[in-house]
Amino acid sequence: MASGGIGQVYGHTTNPKVATGDGVAMAYRIGADIKEIEFVQFHPTALYEPFASSTFLISEAVRGFGAELKNKSGEKFMYNYDARGSLASRDIVARAIDAELKNTGENCVYLDCTELNQADFSMHFPTIKNTCLQKGINVQNDWIPVIPAAHYGCGGIKVDKDGRSSINNLFACGECAQTGLHGANRLASNSLLEAFVFADKAANKSAELIEQIVLPINIPDWNDEGTIISKEMVLISHNRVELQQMMQNYVAIVRSNIRLERALKRVKLLYDETEKLYQSSKISPQLCELRNMITVAYLIITHSLQRKENRGGFYNTDLV
Ligand SMILES: Cc1cc2nc3c(=O)[nH]c(=O)nc-3n(C[C@H](O)[C@H](O)[C@H](O)COP(=O)(O)OP(=O)(O)OC[C@H]3O[C@@H](n4cnc5c(N)ncnc54)[C@H](O)[C@@H]3O)c2cc1C
């Protein structure tokens, strides 16, 4: 299994549209151990675009270069949360922005690059400059609207040092796997290293074992007798958006028991509705993805409720 991340479970994510957690959900359904899925890393500064399901990343190097986070009134609010201001670490900045948005009721905060040397900025961050420009933001004069967005899933299908899951002969690597290497939070750029190392290990181990494996030959064809082509795509698209909003509001950067319990009730409702649809309709990629996203959401919520300690990317106000 090498199906990538789970970011699409959230309303704001830097992940591509395919990051719907299919591998984690499929593995869970056949009984694989899933571990530390509650540790979701949020990138503090993704470009805020109200209707985009995947958002463009404004690298943290931009803050390292001197850009300042400000709220709508121009206040450098980060100093209310940490003495390092905009240069505080990823988790602290993401949590501070989350608190600021909840306190002010605004949709985004801003990254002010207007005071920076623009020639140097263009040289160091040409893609950011051009992407912003395409969206009508000239960083020389305009503040960049930003929000925190789900960026990396530290947990997933639990594997050993050879990439073996708890299911016989099922290997996993990359973002869908939990190797233990990232702990409670991933350090920037460790994910690609992990993916390479564990893909190599998993490939070598499976090559060793492949001769001994007897593959089942009588896998029946998919039987969709008695199911119909649903003319109600809105049921799928609406539930996807509802799930993403619910996860963004209740199970994102800052969690609490009451929000998690509320989320659990909502996700069960979405599960019942979607399973009914799954049993009665001809399957489609959209329906399968929704079903998988609901499973991943359920796992994040239940694992969060079980966790009794704040650590790394996990923060529950009831555990402070
Ligand atoms: C904007 C951004 C910037 C990043 N920057 C860095 C960085 O600088 N350094 C770093 O180390 N990491 C970075 N990461 C994280 C890193 O890119 C990912 O963790 C990594 O690419 C995951 O690799 P993967 O092979 O597990 O998954 P992916 O590269 O996502 O590949 C998964 C593949 O599985 C396919 N797939 C999914 N579901 C199905 C299905 N049901 N059936 C068939 N195929 C399916 C997908 O189409 C895709 O091809 C970044 C991530 C993002 C989003």
Tell me, in angstroms, the distance from the centre of ligand 1 to residue 175's CA: 7
- Calpha distance 189→192 (Å, rounded): 6
Residue 102: predicted pLDDT:
87
Residue 134: predicted pLDDT:
95
* 44, 108 Cβ separation under 8 angstroms: no
Q: Is 189 in the pocket of ligand 1 (CB under 6 A)?
A: yes
Residue 229: predicted pLDDT:
84
Q: Is 191 in the pocket of ligand 1 (CB under 6 A)?
A: yes
Task: Measure Cα distances from 66 to 98, 112, 284 in Å.
Answer: 21, 9, 47
Tell me, in angstroms, the distance from the centre of ligand 1 to residue 181's CA: 17
- Atom index in ligand 1 nearest the CA of residue 15 equals 53
- Compute the C-alpha angle 26/32/36, nearest 5°: 95
Best residue among 20, 175, 200, 283 to mutate for probing ligand 1's pocket (most ligand atoms within 8 Å of CB) is 175
Q: Is 3 in the pocket of ligand 1 (CB under 6 A)?
A: yes
- Calpha distance 130→165 (Å, rounded): 43
Atom 48, ligand 1: residue with shortest CA distance = 3
Tell me, in angstroms, the distance from the centre of ligand 1 to residue 72's CA: 34
Residue 34: predicted pLDDT:
98
Q: Is 195 in the pocket of ligand 1 (CB under 6 A)?
A: yes
Residue 108: predicted pLDDT:
96
Tell me, in angstroms, the distance from the centre of ligand 1 to residue 19's CA: 7
Show which residues are catalytic: 90
Classify residue 142 by its DSSP letter: S
* 173, 159 Cβ separation under 8 angstroms: yes
Which residue from 59, 22, 21, 65 is spatially nearest to 43, judged by alpha carbons? 59
Q: Is 239 in the pocket of ligand 1 (CB under 6 A)?
A: no
Atom 28, ligand 1: residue with shortest CA distance = 4
- Atom index in ligand 1 nearest the CA of residue 4 equals 27
Residue 38: predicted pLDDT:
98
Best residue among 1, 191, 194, 292 to mutate for probing ligand 1's pocket (most ligand atoms within 8 Å of CB) is 191
| Three-class secondary structure of residue 287 per DSSP | helix
CB atoms within 10 A of CB 87: 16
Tell me, in angstroms, the distance from the centre of ligand 1 to residue 18's CA: 9
Spatial CB neighbours of 95, under 8 Å, sequence gap ≥ 6: 81, 253, 254, 315
Amino acid residing at 267: V
- Atom index in ligand 1 nearest the CA of residue 14 equals 53
Atom 30, ligand 1: residue with shortest CA distance = 4
Task: Measure Cα distances from 13 to 48, 105, 229, 289, 293 in Å.
Answer: 10, 20, 31, 16, 14
Question: 178 pairs with which residues across the strands?
Answer: 158
Residue 103: predicted pLDDT:
87
- Atom index in ligand 1 nearest the CA of residue 174 equals 26
Q: Is 18 in the pocket of ligand 1 (CB under 6 A)?
A: yes
* E-strand stretches of the chain: 34-35, 40-47, 68-70, 109-112, 144-153, 156-158, 177-178
- Calpha distance 119→147 (Å, rounded): 26
Domains within the chain, CATH numbers bracketed: 7-42+151-212 (3.50.50.60), 44-149 (3.90.700.10), 233-319 (1.20.58.100)
Which residue from 99, 39, 101 is spatially nearest to 310, judged by alpha carbons? 39
CA 165 to the chain's CA centroid:
22
**Average pLDDT of each block of 10 consecutive residues along the chain (320 residues)?**
98 95 98 98 94 87 96 96 94 93 92 96 97 96 96 97 96 98 91 97 95 87 88 89 96 96 98 94 94 98 98 94
Atom 17, ligand 1: residue with shortest CA distance = 192
* 143, 67 Cβ separation under 8 angstroms: no
**Helices 285-306 & 22-29, crossing angle to 10 degrees?**
70
Residue 301: predicted pLDDT:
98
Residue 132: predicted pLDDT:
96
